[in-house]
Each structure stands twice: as C-alpha cells, then as structure tokens.
C-alpha cells in the first residue's frame, strides 16, 4: 500500500530562511501564496506590471515584482501559469535568473514531462499537485485542514529536492490531508487520462448521449435534462463522499439493480478499448503534440469544437431551467425567474 506522508514527515526548515516566488496568480497561485505566507514562509509574487494578477496580489498584501526579478530573488519558483505559457515564461524569465541549486516547482507535470521546459541541470525540479481547486485549497487551510496532494521529484541538484517538495506541500496544507509520492510521468498521464476519459470528456459525452437518446425517443427535453444532467450531482456527491458503497446505500433498490445490469451494457469492452487508445495517445505524447500544435497555430479547431459543444440543445434547455433554481443564482438576493 502506498505510503501517505503527513505533517510528521515534512520539514518546513527545508524552505524557511529562503524565499518562494509565485509566478502565476490564478486560482492555484493565489491559494498557494496565501497559505505559504500564513505558514510563515517568505513569499514574493512575480507578475506583469499593470496586469490583473499584479493588482490582485497587491490587494492581498504581497510585494509584487516582475517574474524575472522574482526568479532572481527566489530559492524556489512555483510556476503556476497555464501549461501552454510555461515554455516562454521559463525560457525568458526564470532560466536566465534562477540561481544554481534553487528549485523550480510546478503543480502539473505537462510542460516538463513533454519537453516544453528543459530545465537547467543545476536546479531542482519538483511537483506539488493539490487534488482540488485553489479556492478549496485555501478554504480548507483557513479552517485548519488541508487538501490531499501529490508530490514528485524530477531533478535533484541540491540533494534536498524531496525535502523541499514536502515542505512546500506542508506549507499549503497538503500534508494535513496526506501527500502521496508519484512521478512526473504518472501525475501527468493519469491527470490527462482522467480529464479526457472520465471527468470531462467521458462524463459530458455520456450526459449528452443520454439526453439525446431520450429526446429522440419522444420524451420532453426538460425531463431528459433533469434525468441525465441535473441529478448527476446527487450521485457524484455520494461517490465523492463514500465511494461506490455510499452511492449504493442511498439510491433505491431499483436504481441499484439497474446499475448492476445496465451499466456494463453502456461502458463495456469496446468502451475500455477506446479508453486504452486515449491512454496510448497520452503515453506516446501524441495528444501533447496535437495540443501544443493547436495552440501554436491559433486554436482554430479548438475554438470551433468548443463553440459546437456549447451550442448543443441540452445547453439551451439547461440554461432556461436553471433560471428557476434560486440556489444557483450568482447574487444572494437573486429571485427565481
């Protein structure tokens, strides 16, 4: 059984006394910076002058300098900008300025694993990946808990890279909930597979296929929406809280029987073979090459596919129905339509 690392395994002194630079002040970057500061670490934010990240970080009380200046000052740079920006930010801002035996940290291994970043040999390269969005990482920290995380070492120039990664994980609250050691390859490939085959691609295709099957059979679109999308949250919450066992405990006997006899008819051997194909494309780098090329060529195919995805009938029906769900409205005083 894989070891779970907790607070007793972390040594904050591996990073305290030095400076941590956060480059990228989005959902994860903002949560990491605030948690690390509250854990007693010296944090500076690297951001472009005049941008939204600079304004937000200054409002949060951080000293903000350029990414290049942040890298010069840092003993560890956490590169938390979007994946496709890593090559440029690393090459132009970080690599020329990071001192020898300092550390480069990422929260997702894509850019390192697929060669978008080729790190200097004289620096540590580590990964700390919380298994939750930034707002959850911050909320859990504020109430004295944490979000589980993965950590990995790709390159250990200082002979202390692993200690640094665990210290950083502790600083953002990860070791309070448990940290699991992995590799850059395992984190990257499993993350991409989960997104594509299950969490985003698989789930959205299953939902729309179910909706279309019911509508084509003559059922009302509104009823199909409730059965194939709206109620999914109830099931996902049960799975999230207690796995298959809790889901089976709280659904009806009829639902359980239908699950057992019909689930394997929908997700079957052919489906699993398609999943293996998705995984092979990830493992060989084919998916990464296509995505990198798509970004470099202006994302025309991506934009067209996204527009088509958001133009499906289920989106229009859902938008109208959600207007009547007061708890989903963005403003506290919003009234149901």
Task: State the CATH number of the domain containing residue 95.
Answer: 3.40.50.720
Using DSSP's 3-state secondary structure scheme, residue 125 falls into strand
Mark whether 138 and 26 lie in a shared domain: yes
Q: Cα(152)–Cα(182) distance, rounded to whole angstroms?
A: 5
Q: Cα(152)–Cα(164) distance, rounded to whole angstroms?
A: 10
Mean pLDDT, residues 118-130: 97
Mark whether 96 and 236 lie in a shared domain: no
Pick the last residue of a domain from 134, 153, 182: 182
Tell me whether strands 42-46 and 19-23 are parallel, antiparallel or unpaired: parallel
Q: Cα(322)–Cα(315) distance, rounded to whole angstroms?
A: 10
Q: Cα(3)–Cα(1) distance, rounded to whole angstroms?
A: 6
* Residue 329 known to bind ligand: no
- Binned at pLDDT 50, 70 and 90, residue 2 comes out as confident
Mark whether 27 and 159 lie in a shared domain: yes
Instruction: Flag whether 221 is in a domain.
Output: yes
Q: Cα(187)–Cα(237) distance, rounded to whole angstroms?
A: 24
pLDDT digits (tens, 9 = 90+) for 268-315: 999 999 999 999 999 999 999 999 999 999 999 999 999 999 999 999
Mark whether 73 and 138 lie in a shared domain: yes
- Helix then strand then coil, % of the chain, to nearest 5: 60, 10, 30
The predicted structure's pLDDT at residue 80: 98
Mean pLDDT, residues 151-178: 97
Pick the last residue of a domain from 182, 205, 229: 182
CA distances from 265 to 125, 247, 262, 327 (A): 45, 20, 5, 35
Structure tokens at 190: 């499993």
Mark whether 209 and 281 lie in a shared domain: yes
Task: Count CA atoms closer than 13 A to 90's CA, side-chain side.
Answer: 24
Q: Where are the alpha helices (H) located in 251-299, listed in sequence order?
A: 253-266, 269-284, 286-296
The predicted structure's pLDDT at residue 210: 98
Mark whether 141 and 229 lie in a shared domain: no
What global pTM score does this model have? 0.93
Mark whether 165 and 301 lie in a shared domain: no
* Residue 195 known to bind ligand: yes
* Residue 323 known to bind ligand: no
Mean pLDDT, residues 9-22: 95
Q: Is residue 296 a contact partner of residue 304, using CB atoms and an 8 Å limit?
A: no
85: enclosing H helix or E strand: none
Pick the last residue of a domain from 182, 216, 233: 182
Instruction: Flag whether 187 is in a domain.
Output: no
Task: Count CA atoms closer than 13 A to 198's CA, side-chain side.
Answer: 9
* Residue 27 known to bind ligand: yes
* Residue 231 known to bind ligand: yes
Instruction: Flag whether 334 is in a domain.
Output: no
Number of independent structural domains in the chain:
2
Mark whether 226 and 88 lie in a shared domain: no
Q: Which domain holds residue 26?
A: 4-182
* Residue 252 known to bind ligand: yes
Instruction: Flag whether 152 is in a domain.
Output: yes
Mean pLDDT, residues 99-128: 97
Q: Is residue 178 a contact partner of residue 6, using CB atoms and an 8 Å limit?
A: yes
Q: Cα(127)–Cα(119) distance, rounded to whole angstroms?
A: 13
Check the CA dihedral 187-190-195-198 and report its sign: negative
The single residue of 32, 86, 108, 113 carrying the catalytic annotation is: 108
Reply yes or no on whether 230 is catalytic: no
Rounded (10°) angle between helices 269-284 and 286-296: 60
Instruction: Flag whether 333 is in a domain.
Output: no
Mark whether 157 and 25 lie in a shared domain: yes
* Residue 142 known to bind ligand: no
Greater model confidence, 334 or 106? 106
Mark whether 116 and 148 lie in a shared domain: yes
Structure tokens at 35: 């948690």
Instruction: Flag whether 255 is in a domain.
Output: yes
Instruction: Flag whether 336 is in a domain.
Output: no
Mark whether 48 and 100 lie in a shared domain: yes
The predicted structure's pLDDT at residue 330: 66
Mark whether 174 and 199 lie in a shared domain: no
């Amino acid at each position: 059984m894989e070891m779970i690392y907790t607070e007793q395994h972390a040594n904050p002194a591996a990073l305290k006394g030095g400076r941590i630079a956060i480059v990228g002040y989005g959902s994860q970057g903002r949560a990491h910076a605030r948690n690390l500061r509250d854990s007693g670490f010296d944090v500076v934010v690297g951001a472009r002058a005049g941008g939204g990240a600079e304004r937000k970080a200054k409002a949060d009380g951080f000293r903000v300098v350029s990414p290049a200046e942040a890298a010069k000052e840092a003993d560890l740079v956490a590169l938390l900008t979007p994946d496709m920006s890593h090559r440029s930010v690393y090459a132009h801002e970080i690599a020329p300025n990071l001192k020898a035996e300092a550390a480069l940290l990422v929260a997702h291994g894509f850019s390192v694993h697929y060669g978008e970043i080729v790190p200097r040999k004289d620096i540590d390269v580590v990964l700390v990946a919380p298994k939750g969005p930034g707002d959850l990482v911050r909320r859990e920290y504020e109430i004295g808990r944490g979000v589980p995380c993965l950590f990995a070492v790709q390159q250990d120039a200082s002979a202390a890279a692993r200690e640094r990664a665990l210290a950083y994980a502790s600083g953002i609250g990860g070791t309070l909930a448990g940290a699991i050691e992995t590799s850059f390859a395992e984190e990257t490939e499993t993350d991409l597979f989960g997104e594509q085959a299950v969490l985003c691609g698989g789930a959205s295709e299953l939902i729309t296929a179910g909706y279309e099957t019911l509508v084509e059979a003559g059922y009302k679109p509104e009823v199909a929406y409730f059965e194939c999308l709206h109620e999914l949250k109830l099931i996902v919450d049960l799975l999230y809280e207690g796995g298959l066992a809790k889901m089976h405990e709280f659904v009806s006997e009829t639902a359980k029987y239908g699950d057992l006899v019909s689930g394997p008819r929908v997700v079957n051997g052919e489906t699993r073979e398609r999943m293996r194909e998705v995984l092979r494309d990830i493992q060989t780098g084919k998916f990464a090459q296509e995505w990198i090329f798509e970004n470099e060529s202006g994302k025309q195919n991506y934009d067209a596919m996204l527009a088509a995805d958001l133009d499906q009938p289920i989106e229009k029906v859902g938008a109208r129905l959600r207007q009547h769900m007061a708890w989903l409205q963005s403003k506290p005083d919003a009234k149901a339509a």
